[in-house]
């Protein structure tokens, strides 16, 4: 499966201390191949892996985590994002609320209709199931059997061959009989077909459902994506139900469908039993696709530990009055990691107004970084060395001017002064965090 393939891909990185352009390129290629093998659409797989590469190049490798594990976490995050990030619920609204099901024959519509009805009934809402599959007499019986099993009434008109009429009648019936939610099961075909499309389009138009769901068999791989696209072009559905995930489905369809039709997956179906219905959680699906279990939490813990260790180290230096330009640079890196600078500053009360017209972007740090990077190792460790001739050299080396260098020196001195005062004032923990 994908998991073992990724394992192999990550082997390239094992034993290497850092993520570099070369080892990432190889690994990313392997990841792409593994995703395509798991039924992820090629174009989608390429987009994801390009993003993964970009993301990976910017990361430091953490102390207690291998590059492979870190990359796994990056892949996991990307996949989760790709599948929509957050779980999305179906919309059940109206008097009665109407849910319309669409999809090919055999995709699992009727089974899902029963599951959804049972699910809604458990929330203490009255449900009516509607049999609109007018082509196969057995289809009505199938729904009736399910309805009996879960204790939900089934509406059907065996003599009527017009699904628009049947669904309209069903909604009237629901109003009169105090059914709050109507679930309409429709007929499918073995393949996309114009008559079927027209029929379901007409039903949708006539009854205006609050939720139109497209049901698709996850085992059908790439076909699932094409079918989803065709149905969406015609129906503009609200969400997707991915069925038969209990089989040896590779799950890749979930990724591609979301990326191609830009509609959320709302439910997954994992068996023939009425209980086998789950909400769709993008993060859980990403885990399923990656099959990686503990790696994520491991990396998250390591990340925390890394940040904590760095903070501890800096605090110690502050306490010993040894804070130097190396530490300053490392603090800048930390701040940059936290995200957009303007957003960050904007979170400080009163500041968002003040900076409204000021152009702060992440480039604001660039000159400062350039100056610090122009310093020799010794100068960074002992800022006292920086006399005026050295400062002129820094300005030249960093493409700034002497005033910018002097400003930085002044700011840095002020900072150290504050730190010294703080050290005198208190022996409690703190330092940078308290200053912030």
Residues in touch with Mg ion (CB under 5 A):
109-110
**Maximum separation of any 2 CA atoms in the chain, in Å:** 98
Q: Is 156 annotated as a binding residue?
A: no
Residues in contact with 277: Cβ distance below 8 Å, sequence separation at least 6, in sequence order: 112, 115, 116, 118, 119, 267, 268, 269, 270
Q: Which residue is nearest to Mg ion (CB)?
A: 110
Among residues 195 and 427, whose Cβ is nearest to ligand GDP?
195
Among residues 112 and 412, whose Cβ is nearest to Mg ion?
112
CA distance 320 to 308: 18
Q: Which does 274 bind (CB under 5 to 8 A by kind): ligand GDP, Mg ion, none?
A: none
Q: Which does 272 bind (CB under 5 to 8 A by kind): Mg ion, ligand GDP, none?
A: ligand GDP
Q: Is 245 annotated as a binding residue?
A: yes
Number of other CB atoms surrounding residue 387 within 10 Å: 8
Q: In whole angstroms, how close is the CB of 56 to ligand GDP at the nearest point? A: 35
Element (H, E) at 174: helix 163-176
Instruction: Reduce the secondary structure of 46-84 to three states and give it as a string.
Output: HHHHHHHHHHHHCCCCCCCCCHHHHHHHHHHHHHHHHCC
C-alpha count within 13 angstroms, C-beta hemisphere, residue 433:
12
CA distance 421 to 32: 54
Q: Which does 156 bind (CB under 5 to 8 A by kind): Mg ion, ligand GDP, none?
A: none
Q: Is 188 annotated as a binding residue?
A: yes
CA distance 142 to 160: 17
Q: In whole angstroms, how close is the CB of 153 to ligand GDP at the nearest point? A: 19
Among residues 129 and 224, whose Cβ is nearest to Mg ion?
129
Q: Is 417 annotated as a binding residue?
A: no
Q: Is 143 annotated as a binding residue?
A: no
Q: In whole angstroms, how close is the CB of 148 to ligand GDP at the nearest point? A: 16
CA distance 397 to 401: 10
Q: Which does 108 bind (CB under 5 to 8 A by kind): ligand GDP, Mg ion, none?
A: ligand GDP
User: Cα angle at 134 between 107 and 172, to 5 degrees?
Assistant: 105
- Tell me phi and psi for residue 185, to 5 degrees: -95, 125
Q: Which does 252 bind (CB under 5 to 8 A by kind): Mg ion, ligand GDP, none?
A: none
Q: In whole angstroms, how close is the CB of 129 to ligand GDP at the nearest point? A: 12
Q: In whole angstroms, how close is the CB of 241 to ligand GDP at the nearest point? A: 9
The three-class DSSP label of residue 208 is coil
Among residues 110 and 218, whose Cβ is nearest to Mg ion?
110
Q: Is 198 annotated as a binding residue?
A: no
Q: By the criterion CB under 6 A, which residues form the site for ligand GDP? A: 103, 105-111, 188, 243-244, 246-247, 269-272, 276
Is residue 103 a contact partner of residue 133, using CB atoms and an 8 Å limit?
Answer: no
Q: Which does 147 bind (CB under 5 to 8 A by kind): ligand GDP, Mg ion, none?
A: none
Among residues 138 and 338, whose Cβ is nearest to ligand GDP?
138
Q: Is 399 annotated as a binding residue?
A: no
Q: Which two tokens stand for residue 378?
A: 């010794």
Q: Is 100 annotated as a binding residue?
A: no
Q: Tell me the binding residues.
A: 103-110, 185-189, 243-246
Binding positions for GTP:
103-110, 185-189, 243-246
């Amino acid at each position: 499966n994908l998991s073992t393939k990724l394992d192999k891909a990550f082997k390239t990185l094992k034993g290497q201390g850092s993520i570099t352009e070369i080892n990432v390129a190889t690994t990313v290629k392997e990841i792409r191949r593994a995703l395509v093998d798991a039924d992820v659409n090629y174009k989608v797989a390429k987009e994801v892996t390009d993003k993964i590469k970009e993301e990976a190049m910017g990361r430091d490798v953490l102390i207690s985590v291998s590059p492979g594990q870190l990359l796994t976490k990056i892949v996991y995050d990307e996949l989760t994002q790709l599948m929509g990030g957050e779980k999305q619920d179906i919309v059940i609204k109206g008097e009665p609320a109407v849910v319309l099901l669409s999809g090919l024959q055999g995709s699992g519509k009727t089974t899902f209709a029963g599951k959804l009805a049972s699910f809604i009934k458990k929330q203490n809402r009255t449900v009516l199931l509607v049999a609109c599959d007018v082509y196969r007499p057995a289809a009505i019986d199938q729904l009736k059997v399910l309805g009996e099993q879960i204790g939900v009434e089934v509406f059907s008109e065996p003599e009527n061959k017009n699904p628009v009429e049947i669904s309209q009648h069903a909604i009237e019936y629901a109003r009169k009989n105090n059914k709050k939610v109507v679930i309409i099961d429709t007929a499918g075909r073995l393949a996309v077909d114009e008559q079927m499309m027209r029929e379901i389009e007409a039903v949708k138009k006539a009854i205006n459902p609050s939720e139109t769901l497209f049901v698709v068999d996850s085992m059908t791989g790439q076909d699932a994506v094409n079918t989803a696209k065709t149905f969406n072009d015609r129906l503009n559905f609200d969400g997707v139900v991915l069925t038969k995930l209990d089989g040896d489905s590779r799950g890749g369809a979930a990724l591609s469908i979301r990326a191609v039709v830009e509609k959320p997956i709302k439910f997954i179906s994992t068996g023939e039993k009425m209980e086998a219905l789950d909400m769709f959680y993008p993060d859980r699906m990403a885990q399923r696709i990656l099959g990686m279990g503990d790696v994520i939490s491991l990396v998250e813990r390591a990340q925390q530990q890394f940040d904590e260790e760095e903070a501890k180290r800096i605090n110690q230096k502050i306490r010993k009055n040894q804070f130097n330009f190396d530490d300053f640079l490392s603090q800048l890196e930390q701040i940059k990691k936290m995200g957009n600078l303007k957003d960050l500053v904007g979170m400080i009360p009163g500041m968002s107004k003040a900076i409204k017209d000021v152009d702060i972007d992440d480039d604001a740090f660039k000159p400062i970084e350039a100056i610090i990077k122009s310093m020799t190792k010794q100068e960074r460790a002992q800022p006292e060395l920086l006399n005026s001739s050295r400062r002129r050299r820094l300005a030249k080396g960093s493409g700034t001017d002497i005033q910018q260098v002097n400003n930085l020196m002044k700011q840095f001195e002020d900072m150290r002064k504050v730190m010294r005062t703080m050290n005198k004032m208190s022996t409690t923990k703190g330092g940078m965090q308290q200053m912030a």
